[in-house]
Amino acid sequence: MRSKFAVPLGIAGLLVFIAFGWFLSDDPAAGIATTEVGWTPFDEGMKLAKEQNKKILVDLYTDWCTWCKKMDADTYPNPMVSSELKGNYIAIKLNAESSDPVTFNGQTMTSAEFAKAVGVTGYPSTLFIDEDLQPITVVPGYAPPERFVKILTFFSGNHYKVTDFRSYLNQSGG
């Protein structure tokens, strides 16, 4: 049975492209999460996004995930990434194995239950939520800064509503 929180998969091309094209061969050194992004607690972020009419990015991570730490060390601190996040998103970092409670669209559950409800199966995963607090999609895996900023602009500019990710990259010179 499909969860009522299941994320629409209308962006299948994006997911396939991401799943197979973004892993680096570099050693994923452990990193420290940056505060440059301005991470917001989950429930507060949901409220802020509604008030400010902004999209939400939820970074779903685990403490043991090496690629999550690489995102924290290399991707999120990048000036282009952090600028795009600060300007167009409410950024939330959520431990996908935590029993901490979160409330999403009136339903309270643990962080782990939320991750499962939106279809997360691996880490890191990035969940995009629109201004009406409806999930757009989950983007699985690590992304280097230059790729991640393209994903951010794909969603913040609402390009996902009119084209697929591959076409967007071709049109934007990516």
Give the class (CATH, top level) of 12-172: alpha beta
Q: What is the pLDDT of residues 49-95, one digit of tens each?
A: 999 999 999 999 999 999 999 999 999 999 999 999 999 999 999 99
pLDDT tier at 174, thresholds 50, 70, 90: low
Global pTM exceeds 0.85: no
**Structural domain boundaries of the chain?**
12-172
Q: What is the pLDDT of residues 8-46, one digit of tens each?
A: 544 544 443 444 344 333 333 333 334 478 999 999 999
| Phi (first) and psi of residue 17, to 5 degrees | -60, -45
Q: What is the pLDDT of residue 4?
A: 52
- Dmax of the chain from CA atoms? 42
